[in-house]
Amino acid sequence: MIWDKKLSAGMVLGLLLLSGCALGPDRPEGSPGGSASGQSAATDKSETALQEAFAEAVVLMENGDVEEAARRFEQMAAQHPERTGPLVNLGVIAFQAGDSELAQARFNEVLVLNPEHRVAHNHLGVIARNAGDFKAAEQHYRAALSADPEYLPALLNLAFLLDIYLGEPAQALPLYERYKTLAVEPDPKLEDWIYDAKNRI
């Protein structure tokens, strides 16, 4: 199989669908689940309201009403600047709209709050790869896998980067094999990718 770079880029972008959007607003790192004081009931009520508002915005996003979803996530980000979820989804919306600069800014904001955020690193890796910055792309994919060694989007994106763009099929092969082991429903083209990588080692 001869890899076409345009086709490969499309496959890498398609893998972002596996990562999905943030489904919850995410608590700040190290924050407790609730207060031990008399304010706990009010805190729980506020958290429930935030979760419900976030879920509604996610539904809007998934149904294609991205403008309204973005407006709501912007509002949440302003009201809860310590939460990563709204910023992640604003980054995803910007990325899907083709605004890589805004998406990159949003995902970098996420990393300020949580330097190990796997979804942010994975998207930043794709943005870097699209810009031809393969070194930065590799760093982001590896950072995502350092945070979660079983994070399939970053695992396969790194395999593609090493195999197709960096010409290192020997390094990509164990990543393909690991993806095959972990994925419930591996991509049907996986065996072709593995076969092709083996033939070029």
What phi, psi does 189 have (nearest 5°)? -90, 0
**Residue 52 belongs to domain spanning:** 5-18+47-199
The answer to whether residue 33 is domain-embedded is no
For the chain (201 residues), the mean pLDDT of every run of 10, in chain order, is: 34 42 62 51 80 92 94 95 94 95 97 96 96 98 97 95 96 96 92 94 91
**Domain total of the chain:** 1
pTM as predicted: 0.82
Cα dist from 162 to 96, 141, 158, whole Å: 24, 11, 6
pLDDT of residue 98: 94
- CATH number assigned to the domain comprising residue 81: 1.25.40.10
The answer to whether residue 98 is domain-embedded is yes
Q: Which residue has the tokens 């190290």?
A: 30
Q: Nearest-CA neighbor of 61 among 69, 50, 52, 53?
A: 69
The answer to whether residue 133 is domain-embedded is yes
pLDDT of residue 43: 73
pLDDT of residue 187: 87
For the chain, counts of helices (H) and of strands (E): 11, 0
Q: Nearest-CA neighbor of 139 among 153, 119, 114, 122?
A: 122
